[in-house]
Amino acid sequence: MQSKAAARLSDVERSAGLSGAWAGGGAQRASLTAGPNAALNGVVSGVQTMTQTPPASLPSELEAASADLQSQLADVNQQQIHAVEIKTSKKKQSFWRRVVDFIPNIFNAVFQTAKALVGTIVSTLWNFLKDGIGGLISNLAKGNIGGACAAVGKAVMNGIWNVVTGALTSVMVLADPIYQLAGGSQPPVKVQWHRDKDGNLHTITRGGIPGEMTENEGAGALTKSQLDIWVNETDYRKRDPIEKKALLEHELTHTRQLQDSYVVDNLLRYDREEKKKGYCGVKDEQEAYKVEDQYLRDHGHEGGVTCAPLA
């Protein structure tokens, strides 16, 4: 039911970049648990045999090496346990568990829907006042008639699109108990109100049906409008706090790109560029990845992130 335009608008974070990095971490874990682990076990076992039956006096270097290897083995074992925990956490809930959770999920959905509706109305009004009326006054004060008209036009178009995406999100949030009962892959839906450093308001919807739609696009998050961001919650939970914030910075870049457009022109241009140059060739994505990459590097993630084609 997502329009083509809305799907395109979907900027999308890629599960590709960070999620790719995450997948890389998984691969590293796998190699640790297979090759080196077996080899390490052999070495430790040999060292243990030697230390249990010392010939006369045991060289202190050997004792130190043994302790070091034991410590490394403990680390590897810990990683194995962690890998098993991750696997277990993906296990689907039983049918009866989902039935028991149905009533609490209804209460949650009603509360979250109210948050989505209030967030949509307040954010739309506020953003319109700030960008439309504020832009009109500041441009008129400078005698810039063209700028004044553009500010109002952009604010009106964004306002309309914000209401459309906000309504769509609210309906999906309300349907969350049915989605959970049917065994959806995302956790129960959660709506957050957000305000960025420039005073723009947003609603961030995590998990539930919006989360699943984001997941189906192979994305970590999608920006649907100037105020509406959807998050793939199962992917999000695997990120460290810096990666979570970097993902949000990526999405906020897209909200600003929309804010500074008449929406339709942005969607059409995105679509055109994606068809011509692919996802990573879209100018808006290049800008968003640059912001995300910079945030990661500024906060100690040396590898940063680069765009990767979506699955």
Count the residues of the shown chain that bind Zn ion, applying the rule CB under 5 A. 4
The residue (of 228 and 285) whose beta carbon lies closer to Zn ion is: 285
The residue (of 21 and 288) whose beta carbon lies closer to Zn ion is: 288
Q: Closest approach of Cβ 116 to Zn ion, in Å?
A: 22
Q: What is the pattern of x (binds Zn ion, CB under 5 A) and - over residues 6-35? A: -----xx-----------------------
Name the residue with the smallest CB distance to Zn ion.
11
Q: Closest approach of Cβ 241 to Zn ion, in Å?
A: 20
Coil, helix or strand for 203? strand
The residue (of 179 and 289) whose beta carbon lies closer to Zn ion is: 289
Q: Closest approach of Cβ 239 to Zn ion, in Å?
A: 15
Q: E strands within the chain? A: 190-195, 201-206, 221-223, 228-231
Coil, helix or strand for 78? helix
Pairing state of beta strands 228-231 and 201-206?
parallel
Q: Which residues of 26-63 are buried (b: 16+ CB within 10 A; e: fewer)?
A: eeebeebbeeebeebeeebeebeeeeeeeeeeeeeeee
Task: Give CA–CA dist 37/69, Å, rounded.
Answer: 11
Within 261-300, the residues that bind Zn ion by CB under 5 A are: 285, 288
Q: Closest approach of Cβ 240 to Zn ion, in Å?
A: 20
Q: Is 93 left (phi over 0), alpha (psi -120 to 50) or beta?
A: beta
Tokens of 34: 């297979």
Q: Closest approach of Cβ 247 to Zn ion, in Å?
A: 10
The residue (of 176 and 251) whose beta carbon lies closer to Zn ion is: 251
Q: Does 231 bind Zn ion (CB under 5 A)?
A: no
Q: What is the pattern of x (binds Zn ion, CB under 5 A) and - over residues 152-191? A: ----------------------------------------
DSSP per-residue codes, 244-306: HHHHHHHHHHHHHHHHTS-SHHHHHHHHHHHHHH-GGG-HHHHHHHHHHHHHHHHTT-TT---
For residue 218, give Cα distances in angstroms to 120, 234, 284, 310, 311.
26, 12, 18, 6, 5
Q: In which element (H, E) is residue 68 found? A: helix 60-89
Amino acid identity at 87 = K
The residue (of 33 and 306) whose beta carbon lies closer to Zn ion is: 306
The residue (of 189 and 288) whose beta carbon lies closer to Zn ion is: 288
Task: Give CA–CA dist 56/44, Å, rounded.
Answer: 20
Q: Closest approach of Cβ 288 to Zn ion, in Å?
A: 4
The residue (of 12 and 267) whose beta carbon lies closer to Zn ion is: 12
Q: Closest approach of Cβ 251 to Zn ion, in Å?
A: 7
What residue ranges bind Zn ion (CB under 5 A)? 11-12, 285, 288
